[in-house]
Amino acid sequence: MTRSAARRPAPAAEPPAAPAPGGPGGPGGPGGRTLRKLAELPVTTLVGVGEKKAAALAEWGVESVLDLLTTYPRRYIDRSRQADLADLAVGDQAVVLAEVRRSQVLRARRGRPRVELSVHDGTAGVTVVFFNQPWRAKQLPVGSQALFFGKLDTFRGALQMVNPVVDLVVGVDGSAGDRERTGRVVPVYPASAKAGLDSWEIGRWVAEALRRAGTFADPLPEPWRVRLGLVDRTTALWHIHAPGAVADAGPARRRLAFDELFRLQLSLVLRRRATERDARAVRHQVSPLQVTSVRARRPGPGPADPPVLLDQPATLVESFLASLPFELTVAQRRALAVIFADLAGPLPMHRLLQGDVGSGKTVVALAALLAAVQGGHQGALMVPTEVLAEQHFASVRALLEGLEVGDPAVLGGRRPLQVSLLTNRTTAAERTRLHQGLADGRVDLVVGTHALLTDDVRFASLGVVVIDEQHRFGVEQRAALRAKGRGEGDEGADPDLLVMTATPIPRTAAMVVFGDLDMTVLDELPPGRSPVATAWARTPLEEAAAWATLRSEVAAGRRAYVVCPLVEGSERVEARSAVDEFERLSAEVLPDLALGLLHGQMPASEKEATMAAFRRGDISVLVATTVIEVGVDVAEATVMVVEDADRFGIAQLHQLRGRVGRGDRPSWCYLLSESAEGDAAARLEALAATTDGFELAEVDLRLRGEGTILGSRQKGQSDLRLASLQRDRDLLDSARDVAEAVTEEDPALDEHPLLVDELRLFLTDDEAEFLFKS
């Protein structure tokens, strides 16, 4: 036996192992503690949690025993494999568990303040030095124990570790007696010196909670668990907190992560089923075949398709598709076939359409809206901002130019298709007229913002709703717009719903945020696009190269965008700084070129005039804010320069870049940023490395973490403590499959009362009511 092993305490007398399967109330059975029971027990029922500690825990969001048991260790110390200071050499990367013996704060003249600790692990001592972290003195008082991760070096002959990563394990009041009972593997909890909680204390309370609970009720029937290769819940909870060996923690984590994902997927699948249960769908007069028949109608080179349907008058959808100056891509055709099948079907569509920037989602969405109109219904397109609404309105109107709809109320039985715009900027008079038109059915399509959701917007017969940039809208807004299909007397029907994201989001995030929708992906760009050569320009020399490319392209008759720095604050502040930037560029950087300015605060007429001049080429460089992010479509534009690019997010830069490379000429995008570091640098590097939006979405998820992507949506979605959308893709898929399977067989979950109880626990009352009303 080595010296260090002898020094360590023996494993605990009662090792925290799970009880044998099949015992009384054993795993998988209905017996054992339920999560609800644990949620009802306040932490003060545990020995050692008095009022003061309870208050500290509450500050941390831990009030019940369930909260405590779902506070998981950040890592484990494997005492059998941990290095002794005495065995380490200079240059070693080390993890040591040591006690603070001496502590002092030093402030050299003109130097940075530093905290110096003498720590000892029983075999040897080392000096730990923190620069510029004065609070370390408080965090690590004499007598406390912590894990120090860092590199050993020497200073004036003595061993030292500079700025190590620290996990406080035992605060000063953790008693020595407790330390003796520690097993071989010690869980390290996220301790908080500020709240006066250390990892050791938390571990002790958790251990007591486990001991008192014994076994836990498992909502997953054993056969499922076995098929999924997951351990039972009792084993999982014991092993995550007190693994006999570090290797036991992995399966425990998987099981608990599965539970998180499963609850979430189950609520989404149930939401979907609840919506369908009460649904009254419009059976739209459209057939998936219309997508292919359009091809047959189109004159053009290549082997002729059989001339089907030529003797019938074209439907609105067919006329629209035939009027396009291009062939649909295979992906667009495939998506439309699926969408039309949904539209014609007995249930309202709930579909997410994902596609990269420039993949042609607008055309697909318009075809879906027109399918409603051709059956005498109406369509609505909702977008998050006024600027977007205006842009979409302009491009939609252009695309639908010349189309007619049948209307028995007018002479000749046909009239031009009527498209309108509704935002908060719509004048009162115009608004009244529009409300009337929507209510009596004279307006066929409406493009708008949240203004569409107000009570006085009523439709004669809303057939299809398209929501663009859905991630900026909540589930509630989706439901509110859908509800517009039913009149006050509940005589209408539920419109079909198509949701689109501006740029792709990772599949896993989509399954969580949009898990109640079916998904279609446009995985193909229209032909003839050339990838945009993207460079991160960091030095003055590289920036000069960017302006040089811009100049030579403009000289060759092409056009360029300069995107102004993103300014926090109001649209007005942003506009102001765009004006300044425009003046600077006109005076200093590009004085000899024809520059134009575009920002969100300009009157619509001025914006339109500027865009028209840019399209014609009277303006060759458009200096703009992010108003050009979406919808701007000028094929001659081949260069984009983004200033202070580090301020933008990945999705936004990708969307901006989509404004160039729309013709068949080579194009460039220059991201200017001298100072980007860390995540900002990683973003710019990713943009330079790929033009694939799906790939960039994964990078974005990795950099930003799930929290920011998921936002604060339903309560259940913030329940992801262990599950990771990157690491646990397979678990997410299984969770989805099991959720589908169980609700297929047992829609009300009558056979699974424990599952229902857990869902109710994790969801808000309203949500639970909606899911389980019979």
What residue has token string 């836990």?
Answer: 216
Mutual angle of helices 361-374 and 316-323, in 10-degree steps: 150
Q: Rounded to the nearest whole angstrom, what is the least distance from the CB of residue 392 to ligand ADP in the complex?
A: 9
| Closest C-alpha among 434, 365, 376, 433 to residue 405 | 376
* Residue 607 burial by Cβ neighbours in a 10 Å radius (0-12, 13-18, 19+): buried
Q: Rounded to the nearest whole angstrom, what is the least distance from the CB of residue 497 to ligand ADP in the complex?
A: 18
> Phi-psi category of 770—alpha, beta or left, where left has phi over 0 and alpha has psi -120 to 50?
alpha
Q: Rounded to the nearest whole angstrom, what is the least distance from the CB of residue 565 to ligand ADP in the complex?
A: 24
- By beta-carbon proximity to ligand ADP, the closer residue of 296 and 410 is 296
Label the pairing between strands 621-624 and 595-598.
Answer: parallel
Q: Rounded to the nearest whole angstrom, what is the least distance from the CB of residue 536 to ligand ADP in the complex?
A: 23
Residue 392: Cβ within 10 Å count: 22
What amino acid occupies position 755?
A: L
Calpha distance 361→356 (Å, rounded) = 9
What the block records as the tokens of 667 is: 């194009």
Q: Rounded to the nearest whole angstrom, what is the least distance from the CB of residue 526 to ligand ADP in the complex?
A: 3
Dmax over Cα atoms in the chain, in whole Å? 102
Q: Which residue is nearest to ligand ADP (CB)?
A: 360
| Closest C-alpha among 748, 733, 754 to residue 258 | 733
Mutual angle of helices 330-344 and 361-374, in 10-degree steps: 30
Residues lying near ligand ADP in the complex (CB under 6 A) are found at: 326-329, 332, 355, 357-363, 526, 633
Q: Rounded to the nearest whole angstrom, what is the least distance from the CB of residue 99 to ligand ADP in the complex?
A: 60
Can you point out the beta strands (E) in 363-429? 378-382, 404-406, 414-416, 419-422
- By beta-carbon proximity to ligand ADP, the closer residue of 363 and 505 is 363
Calpha distance 466→381 (Å, rounded) = 5
First-last CA distance in the chain: 66
CB 498 within 8 Å of CB 369:
no
Q: What is the Cα 589 distance to its own chain's centre?
A: 38
- By beta-carbon proximity to ligand ADP, the closer residue of 202 and 421 is 421
Calpha distance 472→450 (Å, rounded) = 11
Q: Rounded to the nearest whole angstrom, what is the least distance from the CB of residue 255 to ligand ADP in the complex?
A: 40
- By beta-carbon proximity to ligand ADP, the closer residue of 85 and 357 is 357
What the block records as the tokens of 641 is: 């320069």
What the block records as the tokens of 740 is: 């589908």
- By beta-carbon proximity to ligand ADP, the closer residue of 327 and 571 is 327
CB 518 within 8 Å of CB 352:
yes
CB 608 within 8 Å of CB 596:
no
What the block records as the tokens of 195 is: 């709240």
- By beta-carbon proximity to ligand ADP, the closer residue of 360 and 515 is 360
Helix (H), strand (E), coil (C) string for 511-555: HHHCCCCEEEEECCCCCCCCCEEEEEECCHHHHHHHHHHHHHHHH
Give the SS3 label for residue 366. Answer: helix
- By beta-carbon proximity to ligand ADP, the closer residue of 38 and 291 is 291
Q: Rounded to the nearest whole angstrom, what is the least distance from the CB of residue 505 to ligand ADP in the complex?
A: 14
Q: Rounded to the nearest whole angstrom, what is the least distance from the CB of residue 208 to ligand ADP in the complex?
A: 56
Rounded to 5 degrees, φ, ψ at 622 are: -100, 115
Q: Which residues contact 524 (CB under 8 A, 6 or more apart)?
A: 329, 330, 331, 332, 359
- By beta-carbon proximity to ligand ADP, the closer residue of 26 and 658 is 658
Q: Rounded to the nearest whole angstrom, what is the least distance from the CB of residue 209 to ligand ADP in the complex?
A: 52
Q: Rounded to the nearest whole angstrom, what is the least distance from the CB of residue 355 to ligand ADP in the complex?
A: 5
What the block records as the tokens of 334 is: 């495939």
Q: Rounded to the nearest whole angstrom, what is the least distance from the CB of residue 623 to ligand ADP in the complex?
A: 22
Q: Which residues contact 167 (CB under 8 A, 6 or more apart)?
A: 74, 75, 146, 147, 149, 188, 191, 199
Calpha distance 774→772 (Å, rounded) = 6
Q: Rounded to the nearest whole angstrom, what is the least distance from the CB of residue 292 to ligand ADP in the complex?
A: 15
Label the pairing between strands 145-155 and 93-107.
Answer: antiparallel
| Closest C-alpha among 144, 165, 191 to residue 94 | 165
Label the pairing between strands 667-672 and 532-537.
Answer: parallel
- By beta-carbon proximity to ligand ADP, the closer residue of 489 and 528 is 528
Rounded to 5 degrees, φ, ψ at 569 are: 120, -145
Q: Rounded to the nearest whole angstrom, what is the least distance from the CB of residue 361 to ligand ADP in the complex?
A: 3
Calpha distance 183→15 (Å, rounded) = 8
- By beta-carbon proximity to ligand ADP, the closer residue of 396 and 722 is 396
Give the H or E element holding residue 139: helix 136-139
- By beta-carbon proximity to ligand ADP, the closer residue of 28 and 360 is 360
Q: Rounded to the nearest whole angstrom, what is the least distance from the CB of residue 654 to ligand ADP in the complex?
A: 10
Q: Rounded to the nearest whole angstrom, what is the least distance from the CB of residue 445 to ligand ADP in the complex?
A: 16
- By beta-carbon proximity to ligand ADP, the closer residue of 523 and 757 is 523
Q: Rounded to the nearest whole angstrom, what is the least distance from the CB of residue 51 to ligand ADP in the complex?
A: 58
- By beta-carbon proximity to ligand ADP, the closer residue of 241 and 392 is 392
- By beta-carbon proximity to ligand ADP, the closer residue of 336 and 546 is 336
> Does the CA dihedral 253-256-262-264 come out positive or negative?
negative
- By beta-carbon proximity to ligand ADP, the closer residue of 362 and 691 is 362
- By beta-carbon proximity to ligand ADP, the closer residue of 362 and 743 is 362
- By beta-carbon proximity to ligand ADP, the closer residue of 251 and 526 is 526
Calpha distance 771→774 (Å, rounded) = 9
